[in-house]
Amino acid sequence: MIRKTSAAGSFYEADPDKLLKEVNGYLKKGAAPAGALKGVLVPHAGYCFSGAAAGRALAALKDAEIDTLVIMATGHTMPLRRGALTDAEAFATPLGPVGVDVEFCAELLLEKDLFELSPRAHSGEHAIEVQLPFLRALKGDKVKIVPLLFNSEDEALLEAAGRAVGRAMKGRRALFCVSSDLSHYPPGDLAERSDLSALLALRQAMRNGAPSYFGLACGLLARAAGPGLDTVACGQAAMTAGAACALELGGNDFETALYTHSGKVSGDDSRVVGYGAGFYTAASPRPAGALELSPAMKKELLAMARGAIKSSLRGAGPQVGSLAAAPEFNQPAAVFVTLTSGGELRGCIGSLEARGTLSDMVRGYACAAAFEDPRFAPVTAAELEKLKLEISVLSPLERVDGADDIKEGVHGVYVKSGRRSGTYLPQVWEHFKKKEDFLSSLCLEKAGLASDAWKEKSTVLYRYTVDHFEE
């Protein structure tokens, strides 16, 4: 049973000679990943718009010794609860058929909660098909595919499915390909802000081992961009599953190879579609998970925080909800803002969870520290100029087995027992000579627990790091 083409002659050339010439032209400009390759991200639009981006990433497969390419793609034609496979034994292309790894597919279908057989979902779907002429040009008939479609919003299912694909790839000569476009139909400048932020979010998701971070980022980007943006990533589900698959295979990074959008090709920036290509890799040494903020970015964030307080004093309140020019400012972030006056604490409020974008969190918690810290009277206009602001950007919480996993002067600590909890930022270490005193004070004075509660098995300890900077 061969799945017939549905996009030949529309998304790409139907004539074999013209198609091969075009595909090879795109592949000649391919990039190479810095880390060990686990998979690629490629777009799936018409070749005149996204072929260059696809070729930039897929060229990395040329020297890869593989028998199977798992293609995780967007399902455009019908809703899917699970990952959808097909019963076809091959996919037709103008360059010749591409076989399906039937044994691999059968193995996935044993996990009935995660995968299902749905030939109908594949019959008119272009997202997998448009990658196949590239594969055929690179590998001839030597590599088979596992065609897999996703569009569920169930992130737990997507992560579990991605992990299952990764487990099935172990012991096989296989790589994976995620087929997804990015933003749909905003103006070009808004698309670029959203798309570069989404690609950075994918990198952060990989570096922090948290596929759900990407979903959180997409939600925040959609909210900040407003009604001009139909979707942040049309293949968000496949991108989430791909991140989970890469993590299962030992990946820890994502490297962007090329970004563009349709307006850069057509010259019409009024309504565009974004295209990103890159590599899921295992970098060595393991990259840090914290956002990389330049000195200029830190200076801008501090000015943003002070400006929010000034605005609130005038009765306007902090401005939130628009996409920043810097992709880093559009990332989900956990933030604390600290105010001091004459070296003494004047207010400190923040969150251990990423509840908004970095820029929104900085503005919001700057105002909260100034006006809502119950330990202090609200800041007045007369004292604002005397205040010094400090911002702490937190890494994701990491649960630890005990105090031995906490490094003095490096880690912030969050303690939780029952309904009581509390945290000390890493900056608080300077007030203690011993780890035991730090943890005892945290339990007693911040969490309202017994001073030795950190030793109890029922108490949960988390650690995190902080990038803190001040005026």
Give 306-314 contacts, CB < 8 A, sequence gap 24+: 306/366, 306/384, 306/389, 306/471, 307/363, 308/362, 308/363, 308/364, 308/366, 308/367, 309/366, 309/367, 309/370, 309/379, 309/384, 310/384, 312/367, 312/370, 312/371, 313/379, 313/380, 313/381, 313/384
- pLDDT for 289 equals 85
Confidence check: pLDDT of 260 > 70: yes
- CA-to-CA separations, 115 to 145, 175, 348, in angstroms, rounded: 16, 19, 47
- pLDDT for 172 equals 98
pLDDT in tens, 426-455: 999 999 999 999 999 999 999 999 999 999
Task: In the chain, list all ranges with CATH 3.40.830.10.
Answer: 2-282
- CA-to-CA separations, 216 to 53, 170, 220, 363, in angstroms, rounded: 25, 29, 6, 19
What is the full DSSP assignment across 282-304?
Answer: E-SSPPP-S----HHHHHHHHHH
Confidence check: pLDDT of 318 > 80: no
Confidence check: pLDDT of 345 > 90: yes
Q: Does residue 389 contact residue 302 with C-beta atoms inside 8 Å?
A: yes
Determine phi and psi for 178, rounding to 5 degrees: -100, 125
- pLDDT for 396 equals 87
Quote the CA–CA distance of 428 and 415 in Å, as a whole number: 15
Please list the residues that pair with 347 across neighbouring strands. Answer: 339
pLDDT in tens, 349-393: 999 999 899 999 999 999 999 999 999 999 999 999 999 999 999
Domain 398-470: CATH class, spelled out? alpha beta
Sign of CA pseudo-dihedral 50, 51, 52, 53: positive
- pLDDT for 404 equals 96
Task: In the chain, list all ranges with CATH 3.30.700.20.
Answer: 295-394
CATH architecture assignment, domain 295-394? 2-Layer Sandwich (3.30)
Confidence check: pLDDT of 321 > 70: no
**Using 50, 70 and 90 to split pLDDT, how confident is the model at 320?**
low
Quote the CA–CA distance of 237 and 242 in Å, as a whole number: 9
Collapsed DSSP state (helix, strand, coil) of residue 389: strand
- pLDDT for 290 equals 86
Average pLDDT value for residue range 12-38: 97
Average pLDDT value for residue range 251-274: 97
Among 312-326, 338-352, 397-411, where is mean pLDDT lowest? 312-326
What pTM, to 2 d.p., does this model score?
0.94
From the options 3.40.640.10, 3.40.830.10, 3.40.120.10, 3.30.1360.10, give the CATH code of 2-282.
Answer: 3.40.830.10
**Using 50, 70 and 90 to split pLDDT, how confident is the model at 225?**
very high
For residue 141, what are the contacts with CB-CB under 8 A and spacing of at least 6?
A: 96, 97, 98, 99
- pLDDT for 288 equals 86
Taking all residues of the chain, what is their mean pLDDT, rounded to a whole number?
A: 96
